[in-house]
Amino acid sequence: MSELKLSHKQTADFELLANGGFAPLEGFQGSEAWKTVVEDMRLPDGQPWSIPVTLASETGEVGDTIELIGHEGSKLGTITVEEVYERDLKHEAQNVFRTTDEAHPGVAMTYREGARTIAGPISVEQLPEHIDAVKPYLLSPADTKKTFEERGWKTVVAFQTRNPIHRAHEFITKCALEIVDGLFIHPIVGETKSDDIPPETRMRCYEVLIENYYVPERVLLGVNPAAMRYAGPREAIFHALVRRNYGCTHFIVGRDHAGVGDYYGTYDAQHIFDEFEPGELGIEPLKFEHSFYCKLTKGMATAKTSPAGNEDKVFLSGTAVREMLGRGERPPEEFSRPEVADVLIEAYSEQSEPAPA
């Protein structure tokens, strides 16, 4: 049996196909599904699906059974090849990412994969290996649904993130928690941009924040093994559908969800939900304004709740905080809880220490 070594992204896709996170998909998509997803954000049967899940490969022919090797070296299972086809990568990029610019990380990743694509159902031998920091939080959709039921949660809001949770994130998650039974903090731990904060650091940030500033009985922390696409609006729908599969009833959509650079409008990821009929996605979006620390009201707020001018608003992006940490500066308390800042400062100081001679 021939083997195919998967990329980080392909390994993550295999895991979500295997554990039910990508339901109703049962394998890597063929040309018909690729076309309807790319052009219409739907599967051939009409169900909503916003980003294609495909397997680019220079090898494999129809009828082959190929052993799939995860990027970390595990023998994950097999794919039975039912179709080989060529994807129009520029067409995919323009529709999914709204750009063909290779400076966009998702577009660049798509082009690197190549156009030749194999499709078919998978069989699963094992799931990929993960670093120790995330292993306790590797909950499958079956695991989370069981936990929600055991806790008596009939309504659950999911929060997607690829960054530590700062004060603005804390604010919107707690606002959402006021109207549901439980909060599912579900950070992505698959492949992200090289300048994103690594998952082991982020997991510690989530732990100290939940321990000190949330009611632990109302919060569940899990990890999403997915790779980021940075597809903005399309990825917001994609993220919502995955969290539906994990048993969530509501999904937080904030400013520039899954965005990168200036490719998407501030609230484009909220507007795209209006392209679907109410209830069609099986999960309800909760749309939040850009939040900030307000010096006037002495607390977190949005433009809906604070009359302050810009001089009384403290805005800090994740990028700005990473730059501060890189310079050895402590993020202000208006942006980050001190316990989270301590974790970040320690992690950045360890990165900047010279290697032993």
Q: Tell me the CA distances in angstroms from 114 to 61, 109, 117, one per residue in order.
A: 16, 9, 8
232 close to 254: Cβ distance less than 8 angstroms: no
> Across 15-168, where does the E strand assignment appear?
27-28, 55-56, 65-69, 75-80, 83-86, 116-124, 156-159
> Across 95-254, where does the E strand assignment appear?
116-124, 156-159, 182-185, 219-221, 250-253
Using only C-alpha atoms, the chain has a radius of gyration, in whole angstroms, of 21
341 close to 197: Cβ distance less than 8 angstroms: no
Backbone dihedral angles phi then psi of residue 147, each to the nearest 5 degrees: -65, -45
Write out the catalytic residue numbers. 162-163
Backbone dihedral angles phi then psi of residue 7, each to the nearest 5 degrees: -75, 175
Total residues found in the chain within this entry: 357
- Structural domains in the chain plus CATH codes: 3-124 (3.10.400.10), 135-352 (3.40.50.620)
Q: Tell me the CA distances in angstroms from 352 to 75, 146, 236, 325, 326, one per residue in order.
A: 35, 42, 34, 10, 8
In tens, the pLDDT along 241-294 reads 999 999 999 999 998 999 999 999 999 999 999 999 999 999 999 999 989 999
In tens, the pLDDT along 186-222 reads 999 987 777 778 899 999 999 999 999 999 999 999 9
Written as tens digits, the pLDDT of the chain (357 aa) is 899 999 999 999 999 999 999 999 999 999 999 999 999 999 999 999 999 999 999 999 999 999 999 999 999 999 999 999 999 999 999 999 999 999 999 999 999 999 999 999 999 999 999 999 999 999 999 999 999 999 999 999 999 998 889 899 999 999 999 999 999 999 999 877 777 788 999 999 999 999 999 999 999 999 999 999 999 999 999 999 999 999 999 999 998 999 999 999 999 999 999 999 999 999 999 999 989 999 999 999 999 999 999 999 988 666 677 788 878 888 888 889 999 999 998 888 776 554 444
CA-nearest of 154, 22, 3, 20 to 70 is: 3
94 close to 100: Cβ distance less than 8 angstroms: yes
